[in-house]
A and B are shown apart, each in its own frame.
Chain A
Amino acid sequence: MQAWLRRLVSRIAEPFTRRRDESEFDCEVQQHLALLEERFRRQGMAPKEARYAARRQFGGITQLRERRRESRGFAALEIFVQDAFQSIRAVLKKPAFSATAVATIALGIGANVAVFSVIDAVVLRPLSAPAADRIVRFLNRYGEGVSDIANFPQFNLWRGQTDLFEYVSAHRLDPVNLTGENPEQIQVARVSSSFFPLFGAPVEIGRAFTDAEDKPGADRVAILSDGFWRRRFSGDARALGTTITLGSDPYRVIGVLSAGFDSEQFSPLPDAYVPFQIDPASMDGGSYEWVTARLKPSVTVALANARLSAVAEQYGRERSSLSPSTMFEVEPLRETLTYSTRRFAPLWLGAVSFVLLIACANMTNLMLVRGAGRKREIAICAATGASRGRLIRQLLTECIALAVAGGALGLALGLAGIRALVAMYSGGAALNIPRLGQAGSAVTLDWRLAGFAIVISSIAGVLSGILPALQGSSVDLSAASKGQPPGSNKSRWLLVVAQIGLASVLLSAAALMIRGYVGLRLIDPGFDSSHIETLEMSVSATRFEKTADLSQLIREGAERVRALPGVESASAACCIPLETVWQLPFIVEGRPVNGRFHAFAGWTFVSPDYFKTFKIPLLRGRGFTERDDASAPGVVIINEAMARRYWPGADPLEDRLIVGRGMRPEYDKDPVRQIVGIVGDIRDQFLNVSPRPAMYVPIAQLPDGINSVNLRLLPVAWFVRWRESSPPLKAIQSELQRASAGLPVARSRSMDQIKIRSLASAEFQALLVTVFSAAALLLAAVGVYGVVAHSVEQRSKELGIRLALGAEPDAIRNRVMLEALWMALAGIVVGFAGDAGLYRLHLIQFGPSDWNPMFFAAPAALGLATLLAAWIPALRATRVDPVAALRWE
């Protein structure tokens, strides 16, 4: 038999034969000893002496037995189980110690679980579509910028690349009015017929679109979401074949999608899906949609991109495109969806790994203290034949057992914590984090998260156990059995300094982020957001797509609302500041143009009272009036930034603007507009983005084409400034409905709410890092407490003698406190070195003035925490009873 096979068989058989084997071995040893003893007796030794001599010559029987056991069977596993039981026994014997260790590790693991569960749900979780790893999003790249918004001609070009892609699909979400009985604004997804097979949408009843239904001019059909079907049709299958009216057009219901289907392409989820019906011959460069497709099985992203660059060149040549340098690209859809989260992931992971390291250091310190108290116990183990390896294993297993218990607690803690946190932000939508589900419901325990928790707990256990195991297992038998105190506390001191250093870096980061967030909140957006209520009204596919009707509606609606008590002013516009801004190119009439236009600027169409409602100051010229209508000459108001940038030392009010020319045919009908006024700058994109040049035009002067194009994309936004403590919402809504002959008024929100929501992401980041650094601070304080308390305990004899000899209690307390402060100081210096290092590595960024919060906040917090943590042991030091301290020995 092969040797290894024999070994294997004997090892497998081992548990069954062990009992017999061990008794046989004992018998063999006894026999050996008897023979030796007999021999020594024959040599003339006394019987007792002979027995001792025999034992001496034979050597350690227990060690031999132990080694035998280890080399037989699957000893490693068996010893692990044994160690684990012993560890649990040891852990239960010291509940206070164990609870502290478990809580410490739970905090560290909890922070990691919280972050990882978000990364898991958002980044790691595969898309639920079939062959999800081959699904790609199309991108337009121009110079620096990348956008995944495409137009119809591009879609048509891409869907022609049949050797590269299959199921090339376009989609877009529009808010549309469901009219008829109980009108409401619903979310309608326009999708091409390939959307359903691409995302594997399961059809509950009825059927999906045919390709024929996706052609322009085909019958209007609709597929309902399960939720909408249950809400509007009580889940009745007879909904099939009925007609719903979207805007003013009737759509025949042909199917219902299964509950739970989420393509992850829409937020909020659509109520209904209608065919996009994109014209294959479309030349409409101003249209927009998102385009997704599946790569053919043998096609890679790199190959597709190489081929697409040729397509882009041809596209640029054939069309007089606005930006001839546009490149086409695809990227895996999962990357598109997870872009923002992946950007933040390193920061989060860095923060939580710091927390975990601090927790591990705490656990190490705890184990070291305990190890010191256990020297004698371990020495006895060693003396009775436990090898050093076995001792190390035993101590490590104990740490791992504690860490795993902490990990289980941390898993629950982290998951509950992050879900509560995400729920506070009504799911991921406000945070710009996709895929988190309703109120964070997508953050769940799956095998990846469980595996992560197990792995990281084990790492934490080993990491925190190594030092105590090495130190605890190297016993000097003679010294230990005499009960001498253990060696220096240097390693424990260093650990606490490292903890404070790590905590200091985290606190600095949190201070920076809080400062940044507060800075954002304090930024003056250029408009007064208080006391403004916003409401939305979709006029898509209604008669109000005609400019004359729309401006009539807005005039009447504003008048009615203004007449309400408590209302100061009312106006309407295309879009809500801090949510959407349109950009259009402009030409200053009469100036030489190098290219096709001078520049892009923000473009907002507004009703006359817009500036009054937002309290945007008029700096020069005049505002809009009701007389600036289609029959009057075209006018435009620009902001200060635009005036300063394009009319340095000149008067803009003498010039006229040509806006949007060449974008698409509708814009060519826009009149040449006289600049009649200059208004103050507002931050309408994001609060931390400086105001860009912006143009405002009166709604009443829009060509019909532009009006209908824009109103199909966004509902009209109403703004009402009110004086009283709360706006008369119900009355406003009913007045607006009356003015519009029954159009639904949706999504009533205050402008303050919108402003705060635009900060949600920054707030969430700051909050997350603050929570983590608070955890770090707490752990560091526990660490300081542990070291100081232990050192006081160790020196209680010395302190007792000092007190007995008449030392001032205050002096003793101050000495202990000073010791703790030194630790804090060393840690803070380490922390600053860490800050500087991270800065050099470009892992954190801050300006010169940002040193202020970092210099003050982190040291102040740490100093305070250290003093608090040292206070109790310091006080205890002054209360040492000299008699008891001396007797303790």
Chain B
Amino acid sequence: MGPARSEVLQGTLDLMVLKALDALGPLHGYGIARRLEQLSEEVLKLNEGTVYASLLRLGQNGWIRSEWGVSENKRKARFYSITKAGRKQLAREADNWRRISAVVARVLESA
């Protein structure tokens, strides 16, 4: 069943969503999904619905906010944008991530 897969992804998915909002400005859920698809070069196959779970978590932490706007196809859509707290969190997490991935890379190379 589903939960196991999404749990592994949770942390990184949140980080990627935050990064996308930081880089591209306000996006709706569909936009975020496309951005992730594009960035990960199809390596990351995910149920797009999980993006909304991630958005919910980020919103509850106050790292993003949302408002209603009009989408490309002229329909009402909810746009998400990153907050100041979100930027701080992103910097912190990105730092963390870089450190960990550097360590992991070193370990793998030396072995």
Q: How far is the CA of A382 from the CA of B1 in the complex (A)?
A: 10
Contacts A31-B76, A36-B30, A71-B60; A59 near B50 (Cβ below 8 A): yes
In the bound complex, how far is the Cα of B48 from the Cα of A387, in angstroms? Answer: 19
Q: Is B57 part of the contact surface with A, judged by Cβ < 8 Å?
A: yes
Asked whether A67 is an interface residue with its Cβ less than 8 Å from the other chain, the reply is yes
Asked if A60 contacts B47 (CB within 8 A), the reply is yes
Chain A residues near B85: list those with CB within 8 A.
3
Q: Whole-angstrom distance between the alpha carbons of A7 and B85 in the complex?
A: 14
Residues B72-110 near A (CB distance < 8 A):
72-73, 75-78, 85
Partner of B71, one of A7, A25, A35, A63: A35
Which one of A38, A59, A71 lies within 8 Å of B47 (CB-CB)?
Answer: A59
Which residue of chain A has its CB nearest to the CB of B59?
A: A10
Tell me the smallest distance from the CB of A542 to a CB of chain B, in Å.
89
Q: Is the CB of B62 within 8 A of A3?
A: yes
* Cβ B76 vs Cβ A64 within 8 A: no
The complex places the Cα of A10 from the Cα of B59 at a distance, in Å, of: 10
| B24-63 contacts to A (CB < 8 Å) | 28-30, 33, 47-50, 52-53, 56-57, 60-62
CA gap between A71 and B3 in the complex, in Å: 14
Is A142 an interface residue, CB under 8 A from the partner?
no
- Which A residues between 35 and 78 are near B, CB-CB below 8 angstroms? 35-36, 38, 57-61, 63-64, 67-68, 71-72
Task: Give the distance to chain A from B61, nearest Cβ to Cβ, in Å.
Answer: 5
Task: Let me know if A29 is at the binding interface, CB within 8 A.
Answer: yes
Chain B residues, CB < 8 A from A31: 28-30, 71, 75-77
> Is B57 in contact with A32, judged by CB distance below 8 angstroms?
no
A556 to B47, CA, bound (A): 109
Question: How many interface residues does B have (CB within 8 Å)?
Answer: 26
Q: A71 contacts B57, CB within 8 Å? A: yes
Q: Inside 8 A of A25's CB, which chain B residues have their CB?
A: 52
A388 at the interface (CB under 8 A from B): yes
Instruction: Name the interface size band of chain A.
Output: 20 to 34
Residues from chain A with a CB closer than 8 A to the CB of B53 are 64, 67-68
Contact B60 A64 (CB under 8 A): no
Residue A724 at the chain B interface, CB threshold 8 Å: no
> A3-B85, A36-B48 in contact; A63/B61 too (CB < 8 A)?
no
In the assembled complex, A219 has its CB within 8 A of some CB on chain B: no
| Separation of A25 and B78 alpha carbons in the complex (Å) | 9
Whether A34 contacts B73 in the complex (CB less than 8 A), given A7-B60, A28-B78, A60-B2, comes out as yes
Q: Name the contact of B77 in the complex, choosing from A10, A28, A64 (C-beta under 8 A).
A: A28
Contact B73 A3 (CB under 8 A): no
Contacts of B33 in A (CB 8 A): 32
Q: How far is the CA of A64 from the CA of B76 in the complex (A)?
A: 21
Taking the closest CB of chain A, its distance from the CB of B63, in whole angstroms, is 8
Which residue of the partner chain B has the closest CB to A35?
B30
How near does chain A come to B69, taking the closest CB pair, in angstroms?
11
- Whether B1 lies near A24 (C-beta < 8 A) is no
The answer, yes or no, to whether A27 is at the interface (CB within 8 Å) is yes
A6 at the interface (CB under 8 A from B): yes
B48 engages A32 (CB within 8 Å) = yes
Do residues A59 and B48 form an inter-chain contact, with CB atoms below 8 A? yes
Q: How far is the CB of A802 from chain B (nearest CB, A)?
A: 40
Do residues A71 and B62 form an inter-chain contact, with CB atoms below 8 A? no
User: Digit string of A375-402 for contact with B (CB within 8 Å is 1, else 0)?
Assistant: 0000000100001100000000000000
Contacts of B62 in A (CB 8 A): 1, 3, 6-7
Contact string against B for A residues 517-540, beta-carbon threshold 8 Å, 1 for contact and 0 otherwise: 000000000000000000000000
Contact among B1, B28, B57, B77 for A388, CB-based, below 8 A: B1
* B1 contact set on A, CB distance < 8 A: 382, 388
Residue-wise, chain A 205-245 has the 8 Å CB interface mask toward B (1 for contact) of 00000000000000000000000000000000000000000
Q: How far is the CB of A381 from chain B (nearest CB, A)?
A: 13
A629-673 near B? 1/0 per residue, CB < 8 Å: 000000000000000000000000000000000000000000000
Contacts of B60 in A (CB 8 A): 6-7, 10, 71-72
Residues B49 and A59 in contact, CB atoms below 8 Å apart: yes
Q: Are A29 and B73 in contact (CB under 8 A)?
A: no
In the bound complex, residues from chain A placing their C-beta under 8 Å from that of B49 are 29, 58-61, 63-64
Given the known inter-chain contacts A71-B56, A71-B57, please indicate yes or no for A28 contacting B48, CB distance below 8 A: no
Tell me how far the C-beta of B17 lies from the nearest C-beta in chain A, rounded to whole angstroms: 14
Identity of the chain A residue whose Cβ is nearest the Cβ of B85 in the assembled complex: A3
- CB-defined contacts of A63 to chain B, threshold 8 Å: 2, 49
Beyond the given A7-B62, A29-B49, A63-B2, please list 19 additional residue pairs across the A-B interface where CB-CB is below 8 A: A7-B60, A7-B61, A27-B76, A28-B29, A28-B52, A31-B71, A31-B75, A32-B28, A35-B71, A35-B73, A36-B30, A58-B49, A59-B2, A59-B47, A64-B50, A71-B56, A72-B60, A387-B3, A388-B1
A-B contact pairs, 23 of them (CB 8 A): A7-B60, A10-B60, A24-B78, A25-B52, A28-B77, A29-B49, A29-B52, A31-B28, A31-B30, A31-B75, A32-B28, A34-B73, A36-B48, A58-B49, A59-B2, A59-B49, A59-B50, A63-B2, A64-B49, A67-B53, A71-B57, A71-B60, A387-B3
